[in-house]
Amino acid sequence: MNEKDIESKQIEELLRKAHLPGPSPQLHERITIAAKNAWNQTETELSWLVPFGRLVASAAASILIIWLADYTSNCSLGQWSSGLARTVNRQPAEIEALPEIPYGPFVRSLVSDNRRSSMIDASALNNHVESLWHILDETLQNGLAEPSAPAGDRSLLIPNPSSDNPYS
């Protein structure tokens, strides 16, 4: 044991000559009364309430963040979107026309389905317009149209049913 260790031992012995006082009985009484009062006043927390509260708070925060992101996005992009012509980039939906996708057939079919679902069905639109023309034609033939109006005064807004249907 070197001199340093001996001195450390001596310091420890010196420190042990003193002692820390414990809490007095009066303090014991005062504190236990205060603690029991706090015990009785504090409602027992429901065990599920804390995690439920956290869940609600996080859900509310996420909704707020999404709403804010959407709002700021609309605000910042609104000036470019209004009044300008929109360009639609139509991508091929057929599997054979997807050579640029460097994945297997499964991924290609997924991409194809996804693109197809987002496309407007041209034939359905065509059928719908044709049915509208048909209804209009029948209405005109049944004489519900204005009888006094000469054929020449016909509104230009209503196309002539005998003309070529651009969708047919």
Partner 1 sequence: MDKKLPDNTLPAALARNDPAAVEMLWERYADDLFAYLLVVLCSRHDAEDVLQTVFVKIAQKRNRLAKARHLDAYVFRIARNEASRFIEHRKRKRTAQAVNDTWLTVTEEQPEPIDLAEHIQAALARLPEQQREVVVMKIYRQKTFLEISRLLGLSQNTVSSRYRYGIEKLRTLLGDLIS
Point out which residues bind partner 1 (CB under 8 A): 4, 7-8, 10-12, 14-23, 27-28, 30-32, 34-36, 38-40, 42, 44-45, 47
Least spacing, CB of residue 49 vs partner 1, in Å: 10
Nearest CB to partner 1, comparing residues 35 and 60? 35
Nearest CB to partner 1, comparing residues 21 and 104? 21
143 Rama class: left (phi>0) / alpha (psi -120 to 50) / beta: left
Least spacing, CB of residue 55 vs partner 1, in Å: 18
Nearest CB to partner 1, comparing residues 46 and 144? 46
Distance CA 67, CA 75 (A): 12
Q: Are 109 and 95 in contact (CB under 8 A)?
A: yes
Q: Are 89 and 115 in contact (CB under 8 A)?
A: no
Nearest CB to partner 1, comparing residues 7 and 113? 7
Least spacing, CB of residue 4 vs partner 1, in Å: 8
Least spacing, CB of residue 18 vs partner 1, in Å: 5
Q: Are 127 and 141 in contact (CB under 8 A)?
A: no
Distance CA 55, CA 48 (A): 11
